Structures are given as C-alpha cells and as structure tokens.
Amino acid sequence: MKVTFLGTGTSQGVPFIGCPCAVCNSANPKDKRLRCSVWIETPEASIVIDSGPDFRYQMLRAGVRRLDAIVFTHGHKDHVAGLDDIRPYNYFDKKPVGVYATEETQQALRREFSYIFTNPTYPGIPQITMNTIAAGQSFSINGLEITPIKLLHYELEVLGFRIGDFTYITDANYIAPEELLKVKGSKAMTLNALRHEAHVSHFTLAEAIEVAKDARAQDVYFTHISHQLGLHKEVEATLPQGMHLAYDGLVLEF
C-alpha cells in the first residue's frame, strides 16, 4: 500500500492570503500546504480521503490517473468542495466514482452539489455511487478494508480511518479511549496539529503529541497545519522521536 499526502494545510491553506509572516513567505516547499487530503493506492484500489478546494490541482500534481472512490471524513467545505472535479474520471473510466460518507455528510454533499442529485440528471454532471458509512462498521473498497474511527470536531462527529497499517485522523479535538484502541498497532498515524495556541475544534501541537503517545503508533505524521504553527524545519527539529510534520508530496509505503 502506498500513501501520498496530497495536502497538509488548514482550511485556508498555507500561505494564508495576504499574510506577511515568515511561514507564508518561506521559500521551503514544505511550507506550502494545500488543503488536507491523502491518496491511498494498492494494486486493486485507488482512493482519496476528502476532496477539498484544491482537489483538481492535487490530482494533476500527484498524477492520479485512476480513482475508484472518495471517502469523506465530514462535510465541511475544505473537505468536500472539489467533488465536481471527478468528471474526468467518469469520462475516462466510463463509470461513476464511489462516494463513502455518513448520512450527515451526505446531507452536506446534497446541499453543496444539488445538481448531482437531480432527476432527470443533467448531461455532464459528476457521476457518483453513494455508499453509507454506518456507525462502528468497517467497509471494503475493492478488497481494501477500512475501519471508521469516531472523533469530535468541537460538537460535530467526524471520522478518521484505519486502513491496514495506516491511520488517518484530521479535524479532531477529542478521541474517546475506545476509539483510540482502533489506532494501536498502526505503523503510521496521521493526526491534526493546527497550531500552538488552544483552538475550539482542533488539537494543538502539544495536545496532538500527547494523543500520539497514547496511540503508540510506530511513526506519527502531523497534518492540518496552519501558518501559525511555525516554519516546517524549525518545528520538525523540536518533535519527539518518531514524530514528524507531514508535508505535501510525502509518500509512505507499506
């Protein structure tokens, strides 16, 4: 299994529009962060977790020629806005793209992309096959087994996912102990770490480090990073052993 980080930035990306700070003006490509997403590929399956506003460019940059499914963590705009750009995959593969989401996230998709769900359909609209992620139930995409992990993003219930030896968690500020058990034994875990200052709906870096210690994953990669966290090179140097800042284009192989 191969995991490619398509984006590791917060909802507004890095650089932040109009910001004069050192991070936003850094020449280091690791300080350039698109909105959060990962591409997971095996010989049998090619899936993306979340399709944010940068989805089209992310697919082009990573060279994703086949897409079987998009799995959604939740319905916020920075995680769903790029769904319309699946149309080339419909065109070349001659089939719908699978969409996997909770019922609540499906409601957000129907609001944001109402034209996809019209009857009769309009020519050229994105073609999807909707699949419901049920609470506490694993599911499979072309043989790729996926286990949902329930999280809280302030008061909104969102999902992380355990896929083989890889766990992906973003946009969370609370993980119940019974859900954290699903992470244990992961060779790699991704976890959101927005900034140093407290935030109402995201882990700070210090909080994420403590959660990561409890999870006992072999390696941890922090994501959903804002410009307020600091320069990649400087923050990376302060992290405990086995913990890293993820960056756009990072590839993990299992």
Tokens of 185: 């034994």
Tokens of 146: 């996926």
- Segment 214-219 shows an average pLDDT of 95
d(CA 199, CA 207): 11
pLDDT grade for 136, boundaries at 50, 70 and 90 = confident
- Mind listing the pLDDT tens digit for each residue in 142-198? 999 999 999 999 999 999 999 999 999 999 999 999 999 999 999 999 999 999 999
Query: Does the structure show a pLDDT above 90 at 121?
Result: no
Which of 55, 118, 41 has its CA nearest to residue 84? Answer: 55
Select the CATH number that applies to the domain covering 2-253 from these four: 3.60.15.10, 3.10.129.10, 3.40.50.1580, 3.20.20.30: 3.60.15.10
Chain-wide mean pLDDT for the chain? 97
d(CA 49, CA 116): 20
The pTM of this model reads 0.96
Domain ranges (residues) in the chain: 2-253
Quick one: pLDDT at residue 77? 97
Answer for the pair 20, 38: CB distance below 8 angstroms, yes or no.
no
| 3-state secondary structure (DSSP) of residue 249 | coil
Query: Does the structure show a pLDDT above 90 at 135?
Result: no
Tokens of 65: 């020629």
Instruction: Please give the backbone phi and psi of residue 59, each rounded to the nearest 5 degrees, phi first.
Output: -65, -40
Tokens of 57: 């460019």
Alpha helical stretches, state H, 63-216: 77-80, 87-93, 103-112, 177-180, 205-215
Number of residues assigned to the chain? 254
- Segment 50-76 shows an average pLDDT of 98
d(CA 221, CA 249): 13
Answer for the pair 171, 191: CB distance below 8 angstroms, yes or no.
no
Instruction: Please give the backbone phi and psi of residue 70, each rounded to the nearest 5 degrees, phi first.
Output: -115, 130
d(CA 104, CA 158): 9
Beta partners for residue 148, in sequence order: 161
Quick one: pLDDT at residue 87? 97
Which of 56, 48, 45, 91 has its CA nearest to residue 72? Answer: 48
> Which residues, including other chains, have CB under 8 Å from residue 132's CB and lie 6 or more apart?
100, 101, 102, 103, 106
- Segment 30-41 shows an average pLDDT of 98
d(CA 192, CA 200): 13
